[in-house]
Structure 1
């Protein structure tokens, strides 16, 4: 019998794993049809875990929108949970939505720790923006509710999780600055990049079908439309770099929405009508074609937990210009040009350097491919598995 005690609360969790395989539940409800950075992390984790740990039993909580099984491994069972991962029941008392009896360890991989768990838990906190920079997450009125929701769930995770994983050293530093008492429980398990992100031949017809005019060169921006992605800064940098150069366009892929009123107004104000192509969510094959066909990816975020587009673009042989702060330099690993995301002129100069210098562009492509190859999802899963075993053994 192992006993887990959360030193910040009066709760004690006792569990026994004698005479049977340990049972680990993983919340996989972010894996669905809508593109999601967290969904990518979770899908990659469960792709490798069952094979790495045949001695363990995994219970995967699946969203109804995911109609296909998450895994066909013999040591996996799946439970469809109709309550959403970011819904009130999850936050207040998850056992109201799903029977977790017999579970020895719960992994919450989406920033918040659900309520009502009576077993040790591990939470993956990708970033703490909702606590440190909530205005960068969602400035709309609904964002006030989200701030309360995520703020409560993240604080609970920091105080009550047996262990906390995060995907970059930058996020680990932000977490420990916010909650120094959690420093000894935070482990970095760097994200990876899937093998199907790879260089492919540029196909003008396929790109035209996606919304890129045939034969046009383009700068690519990929990400959801939240303010921290700095898409307005990207537009201004593109305008400064290429406003007078009609041979190159900007392709903006927003994983939640193609554009919004501020973006539309800014395109007009910058004199870029007809040269900015705002695209909505893309499936993976389409995104790979866009990365592989771009002159350069521009990723000027103010902050990131990891920054998947940087790794994905490098894996596709696309040169990268990204921010010189937060997790971006760490992810790029010396294989990208870095610039201050608040400095439009610096971003514009970096873009021009890549587009105007074929030797630099080729060098960035080569270095990016090598860097991306080092970002391995199997290693990510193995690092999480090691932590599962430590928590189950009571050595964390």
Structure 2
């Protein structure tokens, strides 16, 4: 079979980027019979796409949205030739005569429209219209996302749940100390929070940190660039900005716990990354988080500062047991398994 995959998203450094890269790498490693055609649209980031082995077309995101989501013209075969299967990205939905597969990672822009730019909301609405109308199989990373898709009108019989996996292996102690020194974290114990957005619940995390006794003997380290949230550094709170995957692994490994009471996740890779690095996790008691955590994390009410604070205290008091549970839980997931289950979806063409 000829399988075309839109890999445009690998250049953006997001969870979708991680998924796309890991899925394709594992598909190519285990499937030697089918022909894979990787392609992407970009004007400024074409070198990164080429380095990944993709054909690059001079189609920036806005143009792709206009052609494929608004007008819905120019079948993808016009660019890649005749194919049997087309796996589209999460941004555009070109028409195609092939068996059409897409992955919907979450519906955050539609469920929390005030947390992102209005144009992003509009793009996802336009694309979802064609997903509902034309896509043969929709891959969701959790049963929570499957439920959301059904709520938004996607037929249940077309949805397949395929879990994702962790990305960051644990760092050695030398690397942990190097990264702590680089970012001036110091030798004080710290909690880690990944992502600074309204849905990542950063403001409540800071309040819960204070309530749990954070300060001189326990810091809060925030990773990521603030998006629609105004956060300032103060005593006990360090704002690191964006860090590399390697540095993030070191921060997980050195942390007392990951505090991740997100208001919504399609999956929640940071939970598994923390588990893999031997880092206890405090996360939300709804959305996809309990499904991913599988009883290996401290679950809290993300809308309650006191609940988050109590969760932090509980995690700090039972680190050994939580670390052991997390290391066992993360073994249930692998990108190889993700790829194999995706190939099963492709085989439903017959």
Q: Give TM-score, length-normalised by structure 2.
A: 0.91
1:192 corresponds to:
165
Alpha-carbon spacing, 1:234–1:163, altered in 2? closer, same or farther (3 Å): same
Residue 49 of structure 1 pairs with residue 27 of structure 2: yes
1:159 corresponds to:
133
SS of match in other structure, 2:48: coil
Contact 1:164 1:186 in 2 (8 A): yes
Output the aligned Cα RMSD. Answer: 2.2
Residue 101 of structure 1 pairs with residue 86 of structure 2: no
Tell me the distance in 1 between the aligned counterparts of 2:268 and 2:83: 32
Alpha-carbon spacing, 1:216–1:204, altered in 2? closer, same or farther (3 Å): farther
Give structure 1 stretches of 5+ with no counterpart: 1-21, 72-77, 268-272
Residue 69 of structure 1 pairs with residue 51 of structure 2: yes
1:216 corresponds to:
188
1:371 corresponds to:
329
2:223 corresponds to:
253
Q: Which has the larger radius of gyration?
A: 1
Q: Give TM-score, length-normalised by structure 1.
A: 0.80
Contact 2:109 2:121 in 1 (8 A): yes
- CA drift at 1:96: 8.2
- CA drift at 1:382: 0.5
- CA drift at 1:213: 2.6
Counterpart among 122, 126, 138 of residue 101 in structure 2: 122
Provide the aligned length of Structure 1 versus Structure 2. Answer: 342
2:279 corresponds to:
318
1:237 corresponds to:
208
Superposed CA deviations along residues 308-349 of structure 1, whole A, max 9, x for unmatched, are 111111111000000001000111111100000001001001
- CA drift at 1:208: 3.2
Tell me the distance in 1 between the aligned counterparts of 2:73 and 2:19: 22
Tell me the distance in 2 between the aligned counterparts of 1:161 and 1:323: 32
Question: Which structure 2 residues correspond to residues 1-396 of structure 1 after superposition, within 5 A?
Answer: 22-32=1-11, 34-62=12-40, 63=42, 64-66=46-48, 69-70=51-52, 78-85=54-61, 87-88=64-65, 89-92=67-70, 93=72, 95=74, 99-110=79-90, 112-135=91-114, 137-138=115-116, 143-179=117-153, 182-194=155-167, 196-198=168-170, 200-201=172-173, 203=175, 205-223=177-195, 225-243=196-214, 245-254=215-224, 257=225, 262-264=230-232, 273-355=234-316, 357=317, 360-391=318-349, 393=350
